[in-house]
Structure 1
Amino acid sequence: MKTKEQISPFLSFDREEWAELRQSYPMEITPGEIERLKGLNDVLNMQEVADIYLPLTRLINLHTVAAQELYRSRSTFLHTKEKKVPYIIGIAGSVAVGKSTIARVLHTLLSRWDKHPRVDLVTTDGFLYPNAELERRGLMNKKGFPESYDARKLLSFLSELKSGKAKAEAPVYSHLTYDIVPGERQVVESPDIVIIEGINVLQPPKVQPGDDSDQVSVSDYFDFSIYVDAQEDNILRWYVERFKALRETAFQDRQSYFHKYANLSDEEAEQTARDIWERINRKNLHENILPTRHRADLILLKGDHHFVSEIKMRKI
């Protein structure tokens, strides 16, 4: 009888095994930059970058070079003029698991390859419906669920990138006002690599009964995908810790959507954060996010202190 490991589509590595795969890949980041890159209440240091993210950068580099060669070969086969098409990386995972920090670290490291490629980072928050539209649809308490995103707009953006369009624009989201910024756009121009970060980017297409049309999902445009994983009790603890930290920082701004929480006591802040988690984030995690974990090419499993303890890489 085959063991679970033998029938798994993934190869598993512990920290030490994974760190060895870095080989001589250079460290192109400083301690000061790491402090600026890590998210509020997140944990990151030079050792984590060296052991986890430099090997990952080397792997992505190999994949990107191979993908570019395949694209050139296909263009030759089809007798078409080769266009510059970006390599797209998707990063998924729960709220508060540290996706944004990982996305920023990869953005920095990938930008410093020998040929200095142009790397852009886009979060799917910009493709949420504006709050007014979410209110109209009765979705404010399901913000972050798949149905709260303008999927058509996001798919159109990714299609433009993958068709070789020189310039594509994405809406901008403000975490201060908790809403789309009217009229503001992020311009992605002739990128070599684009990182798409968002909790639900690995969602499969929603196929309706009787609908025989072509169904397209966001992940269909990805060349490589990463799922950031952790035990739920750890994620909840990180979420509560972050909420308390925001209460003392961003929530103090009168323009903040969450300013009403600025003067909560520690006990009140913890209870409020746990209530929000239970009503919204936990439900989203179990119904939508967690089921997509094994659709990723790589899974980073974090331990108790935000450091990655295990890596699973999809077999080729």
Structure 2
Amino acid sequence: MIDTDKEIGRTAAGLADRVLALPRKDARLMVAVAGPPGSGKSTLAEQVVAGLVARGAAAVLMPMDGFHLDNRLLEPRGLLPRKGAPETFDFHGFAHALNRVRNEPSVILPVFDRDREIAIAGAAEIRPETRIVVAEGNYLLLDEDPWRALAPLWDLSVFLSVPVEELERRLVGRWLAHGFAPEAARAKALGNDLPNAERVMRAARRADIVINWPG
């Protein structure tokens, strides 16, 4: 199984080495770590950044989740039950931010607070000394408009592929960990999370590196 701390750490270390082997250039290096919800991409991306920093690289993590639309916008659009789907993100704001991150010395970004389920504006900064940005999110490689417009931004792309049955187990477990009763946790996972996961798996662009988990 690939989902042990030791194996995830080994995978992250290999990815950090791959990032450091990329050709140097004037603009920042942009790395995409994508995959369905429950695939482990956030943990992997965090460890890749930690590995880069440990090797002396000026690297930071940029989660896509800071660009969630607020519930006050989702509810009148009828999208609140689908929160987390591609159409519930500020794609254009995210794409603009990524283009700025590639080329501008300092960029202020929003951060998603999972406890409160809201995005907080102006909560993170890409600083001038940062040379590598590892972005992570479900839809970074989605081959649908408008998301496919992100493809030229990535110097390296990584996709985590996980069997649907394993994703279902993990997603139900996530809601159980948040205090939901078993039936409610399963309803949350199957009603929204798993359809989003299947959409990601079905419509992802081919990544430079595909990791099949569990291995």
Q: Say yes or no: TM over 0.5.
A: yes
Structure-2 residue corresponding to 1:189: 127
Q: CA deviation at 1:294?
A: 4.5
Aligned equivalents of 1:220, 1:172: Cα separation in 2: 24
Total equivalences in the alignment: 213
* Structure 1: stretches of 5+ with no match in the other structure: 1-14, 16-42, 72-83, 208-214, 248-260, 262-268, 304-308, 310-316
Question: Do the aligned partners of 1:91 and 1:226 also contact (CA within 8 Å) in 2?
Answer: yes
Query: Considering only aligned residues, what root-mean-square deviation do their CA atoms show, in Å?
Result: 2.0
Equivalent of 2:66, from 107, 123, 126?
Answer: 126
Of residues 198, 201, 204 in structure 2, which corresponds to 1:290? 201
Q: Which residue of 1 aligns with 2:14?
A: 55
The higher relative CO (CA closer than 8 Å, separation ≥ 6) is in 2
Q: Match for 1:237: what amino acid?
A: R
Given the two structures, how large is their TM-score scaled by the length of structure 2? 0.90
In structure 2, the residue matched to 1:277 is 189
Contact residue 202 and residue 219 of structure 1 kept, 8 A: yes
- 2:170 is matched with which residue? 238
Mapped to 1, the partners of 2:158 and 2:117 lie a distance apart of 26
- Pairwise mapping of residues 220-259 of structure 1 onto structure 2 (< 5 A)? 220-247=152-179
Aligned to 2:42: 100
- Distance across 2 between alignment mates of 1:47 and 1:283: 28
Tell me how far 1:160 sits from its aligned partner: 0.8
Letter in 2 for 1:135: E
Cα pair 1:93 1:99 within 8 Å, conserved:
yes
Q: CA offsets per residue over residues 187-240 of structure 1, 9 Å max, x none?
A: 111221101111111123527xxxxxxx96223211111111111111111112
Aligned equivalents of 2:201 and 2:69: distance in 1? 23
Is the radius of gyration larger for structure 1 or structure 2?
1
Query: Does the 8 Å contact 2:142/2:205 carry over to 1?
Result: no
8 Å Cα contact 1:103/1:121 also seen in 2: yes
* In 2: Cα distance, 1:140 partner to 1:223 partner: 34
CA deviation map 1:110-161 (0-9, x unaligned): 1122xx2211111111111111111122211121211111111111111112
Give distance in 2, aligned partners of 1:56 and 1:109.
9
Q: Is 1:171–2:131 an aligned residue pair?
A: no
Equivalent-residue separation in structure 2 for 1:173 and 1:189 (angstroms): 19
Q: Deviations over 1:37-57 (max 9, x none)?
A: xxxxxx54235423x222222
State which of 83, 88, 111 in structure 1 corresponds to 2:53.
111
Q: TM-score, normalised by structure 1?
A: 0.63
The one-letter amino acid of 1:194's match is V
Asked whether the 8 Å contact 1:92–1:197 carries over to 2, the reply is yes
For structure 2, the residue ranges without an aligned partner over 5 or more in a row are: none
1:245/1:192 CA distance change after superposition, 3 Å = same
What's 1:203 paired with? 142
d(CA) in 2 for partners of 1:241 and 1:286? 18
CA deviations 1:45-104 (Å, max 9, x no partner) are 235423x222222222212xx2x1xx4xxxxxxxxxxxx411111111111111111011
Q: Do the aligned partners of residues 294 and 155 (structure 1) sit closer, same or farther apart at CA in structure 2, a change above 3 Å counting? A: closer
C-alpha distance in structure 1 between counterparts of 2:203 and 2:155, whole Å: 16
Which residue identity is paired with 2:150? V
